[in-house]
Amino acid sequence: MAINYKKCPKCGSLNVIKILYGMPTHEAFLMAEEEKIKLGGCCITDSDPEYYCKDCENEWDRQTAIDNAYKEIKGITASVGGYFGGYYEVEIVFKVESLNGTI
Identify whether 9 is part of a domain.
Answer: no
Q: Which residues pair with 81 in a beta bridge?
A: 87
Q: Is residue 79 part of a domain?
A: yes
Structural domain contains residue 80? yes
Establish if 32 belongs to a structural domain: yes
Give the closest residue to 89 by CA, choosing from 102, 99, 101, 76: 76
H/E segment holding residue 37: strand 37-41
* d(C-alpha 28, C-alpha 4), whole Å: 24
* In-domain check, residue 92: yes
Res 74: pLDDT: 87
Is 84 domain-assigned? Answer: yes
User: Residue 50: which domain range?
Assistant: 16-102
Is 87 inside a domain boundary?
yes
Tell me the per-residue pLDDT of 7-55, one tens digit each, with 9 for 90 and over: 999 999 999 999 999 999 999 999 999 999 999 998 888 889 999 999 9
Residue 69, CA distances (Å) to 25, 64, 84, 94 in order: 34, 9, 36, 15
**Is 31 inside any structural domain?**
yes
Q: What is the pLDDT of residues 54-76, one digit of tens each?
A: 999 999 999 999 999 888 888 99
* Strand partners for 37: 18
What is the tally of structural domains in the chain?
1
The pLDDT value recorded for residue 71 is 86
